Amino acid sequence: MKEHLKHPIFSIISDIVSTENLESYVIGGFVRDIFLKRESKDIDVVVIGSGIELAQKVAAKAGNPKVSIFKNFGTAMLKFKDLEIEFVGARKESYNRNSRKPIVENGSLEDDQKRRDFTINALALSLHKDNFGELLDPFGGIDDLNNKIIKTPMDPMITFSDDPLRMMRAIRFATQLNFKISDVTFEAIKENKERIHIISKERIIEELNKIVMSKKPSIGFKLLDESGLLQIIFPEFHKLKGRETRNGISHKDNFYHTLEVLDQLVPHSDNLWLRWSALLHDIAKPNTKKFIKGIGWTFHAHNFVGEKMVPRIFKNMKLPLNEKMKFVQKMVLLHMRPIVLAQEEVTDSAVRRLLFDAGDDIDELMKLCEADITSKNEEKVKRFLDNFQLVRRKLKEVEEKDAVRNFQPPIDGQEIIDTFNLSPCKTIGDIKLAIKDAILDGVIPNEREAAYQFMIEKGKELGLTPVINKKNK
Ligand code: ATP
Ligand code: MG
């Protein structure tokens, strides 16, 4: 394994621990990722002794980078070139039932490996010159890497009860790496699901977002569902599950549909918030579902209701309540617009209105909408996608011609007031709206001159007389 420890930081650490005759190892994710040929930027180093002291000695030899010390945790972190290295003394942990904060004592390497969450995360490589690069793998982590298995080094019932965040981590790693969680380990997650309540929402969402950002997020959501965790951490999403049949007519299962949409979006976007928009686009379907005789299942206004549901969901899950949330709301609200357009005749006017409503987010909206086309009927999918190409072409044409993406009215309220010598009143708004509609409907071009003439005409229609006929610049 020596060839993977070529970075100069390892020889600095090795020199120090060999001279002082200390035992020290690279451990955890960095070692796992060597075997998986994944890149990793953070390194964990464990030493039998004091992590803080070792970090300080390493820093002194490495040109004195800043050492951040976390006394309470007995750890120290330093940044060296492109890497972040965390030093910690090997420890033994025991837990109290109501908290995920362990009671910590000094321990051996094996004690330290035992407290790790999964066998694949418990691999260690020695840094001492006597056995530099030697792999220490007491729990069969390499076999599990080869067999693509996530399992705990110790009894999973205890591992998960001690720190229930590990249940989220298990599902997150299974998703990111496309590994299977061993049966015994998965059973223990089911048994311990209620323990997730002692974990902070912030920690949970961090893991959930890693699932959302993975290559195939549906793997994680299905595991969350199967384990029972989904219902606890994201009940609104769990509610999408199931199909109902009436008079022989069934609606689709919106849980699996949504996951398909999210998976389909992945290759087109790594915008976390667009991925959240995919997750939430049909979130109001269970609440708006109705069976109407002669028509079948309807989900009337589920986009409006969905838009209204987003803030509460974001608040409950400790997602940011800022412009990211507003973006998700907008996507949920508009998610059917391009597809409706593609089903009907694609008129310039409809395209202009869509551009006006979506503004700069039009490209993201189109990606979401395209991913939303899921059907077993290949013919149907092809027809939709073809129509979509037409919508995209029209969008481009109209945008080039009329520049309505970030529409600013060419005539403002003040100018209407001045032209007709009005005091503030509703008529001003009416004229503004008429100008906007005329532009969006293609009655007049998106230009000042035309808008000015249109305003004069409109004013006359409303019985107004222009008092100053200027500003025709
Ligand atoms: P990634 O960096 O890709 O998220 P990682 O495995 O490196 O994955 P970190 O959170 O960086 O995860 O943790 C580093 C190592 O610390 C892990 O490999 C594991 O050995 C250990 N570890 C982290 N969190 C826990 C936990 N909750 N319980 C037990 N061990 C943990
Ligand atoms: Mg890591």
Tokens of 263: 């998976």
Q: Which atom of ligand 1 has the smallest separation from the CA of 28?
A: 18
pTM over 0.85: yes
Split into its structural domains, the chain has a count of 3
* Average pLDDT of the residues of the chain: 93
User: Given this model, what pLDDT does residue 341 score?
Assistant: 80
Last residue of a domain, one of 106, 124, 144: 144
- Cβ < 6 Å from ligand 1: which residues? 28-29, 42, 44, 116-117, 121, 163, 165-166
- Does residue 90 share a domain with residue 45? yes
User: Given this model, what pLDDT does residue 93 score?
Assistant: 87
In a domain, 354, yes or no: no
- Does residue 113 share a domain with residue 176? no
Cβ neighbour number for residue 204 with a 10 Å cutoff: 21
User: Please, what is the Cα angle at 50 between 45 and 55, to 5 degrees?
Assistant: 55
Q: In CATH, what number is assigned to the domain containing residue 220?
A: 1.10.110.30
- Does residue 185 share a domain with residue 92? no
- Does residue 94 share a domain with residue 155? no
Question: Containing domain of residue 166, as a range?
Answer: 148-233
User: Given this model, what pLDDT does residue 470 score?
Assistant: 54
- Does residue 87 share a domain with residue 10? yes
Backbone torsions φ then ψ of 133, nearest 5 degrees: 85, 0
Token pair 């309807």 is found at 298
Mutation choice for ligand 1 from 41, 121, 177, CB with most ligand atoms inside 8 A: 121
User: Residue 472: pLDDT band by 50, 70, 90 thresholds?
Assistant: very low
Tokens of 325: 């949330």
Given a cut of 90, is residue 203 above it in pLDDT? yes
- For the segment 206-229, the average pLDDT, to the nearest whole number, is 98
Last residue of a domain, one of 90, 113, 144: 144
- List pLDDT tens digits, range 28-43: 999 999 999 998 889 9
Q: In CATH, what number is assigned to the domain containing residue 36?
A: 3.30.460.10
Range list of β-strands (E), 2-102: 24-27, 42-47, 67-70, 75-80, 83-89, 91-94
Ligand 1 center to residue 29 CA distance, Å? 6
User: Residue 468: pLDDT band by 50, 70, 90 thresholds?
Assistant: low
Q: What SS3 state is found at 358? A: helix
Ligand 2 center to residue 218 CA distance, Å? 23
- Does residue 183 share a domain with residue 78? no
- Does residue 131 share a domain with residue 224? no
- For the segment 197-223, the average pLDDT, to the nearest whole number, is 98
- List pLDDT tens digits, range 114-134: 999 999 999 999 999 999 999
Residues 6+ apart with CB under 8 A from 331: 274, 277, 281, 361, 364, 365, 368
User: Given this model, what pLDDT does residue 433 score?
Assistant: 92
Cβ neighbour number for residue 330 with a 10 Å cutoff: 19
* CA 62 – CA 64 distance, rounded (Å): 6
In a domain, 192, yes or no: yes
User: Given this model, what pLDDT does residue 473 score?
Assistant: 41
Given a cut of 80, is residue 231 above it in pLDDT? yes
Q: Around ion ligand 2, which residues have CB less than 5 A away?
A: 29, 42
